[in-house]
Structure 1
Amino acid sequence: MSDQNRETEPAHDPEVLQLAAKVFDLARQGDTDTLAAYVDAGVPANLTNDKGDSLLMLAAYHGHPATVSSLLHRGADPDRPNERGQTPIAGAAFKGEGEVVRVLLAGGADPRAGSPSAVEAARMFGRRDLLALFGAAE
Structure 2
Amino acid sequence: MELEPEMLIHASRIGNIDVLKELIKGKAKLDVHDPKGYTPLIIACYNNQYEAAKILIEHGANINATDAGGNTALMGAAFKGYPDIAELLINNGADLNLQHGNGGTALMFATMFGRNDMVKLLLLHGADASICDSRGLRATDLAAQQGNQEAIQLLSA
Classify the TM-score, shorter chain: 0.7 to 0.9
Give the aligned partner of residue 58 of structure 1.
43
Name the % identity. 27
Q: Deviations over 1:71-128 (max 9, x none)?
A: 0000011111111010001011111112111111111111221323211101112222
Alignment check: 8 A CA contact 1:36 1:71 kept: no
1:119 pairs with one of 87, 91, 107: 107
Q: How large is the Cα RMSD of the aligned pairs?
A: 1.5
Alignment check: 8 A CA contact 1:81 1:88 kept: yes
Give the aligned partner of residue 23 of structure 1.
8
Q: How far, CA to CA, are the matches of 1:91 and 1:61 in structure 2? A: 5
Q: How far, CA to CA, are the matches of 1:19 and 1:74 in structure 2? A: 16
**Which runs of 5 or more residues in structure 1 are unaligned?**
1-14
**Which runs of 5 or more residues in structure 2 are unaligned?**
128-153
Give the aligned partner of residue 130 of structure 1.
118
Q: How far, CA to CA, are the matches of 2:10 and 2:28 in structure 1? A: 14
Q: How far, CA to CA, are the matches of 2:77 and 2:36 in structure 1? A: 17
Give the 4+ runs in structure 1 shifted more than 6 A: none
Letter in 2 for 1:45: L
Where does 1:1-138 land on structure 2 (aligned, <5 Å)? Answer: 16=2, 18-115=3-100, 116-135=104-123, 136=127, 137-138=154-155
Q: Secondary structure of the equivalent of 1:34?
A: helix
Q: Which has the higher contact order (CA 8 A, sep 6+)?
A: 1
Alignment size in residue pairs: 123
When normalised by structure 1's length, the TM-score is 0.82
Letter in 2 for 1:131: V
Q: How far, CA to CA, are the matches of 2:108 and 2:99 in structure 1? A: 10
When normalised by structure 2's length, the TM-score is 0.72
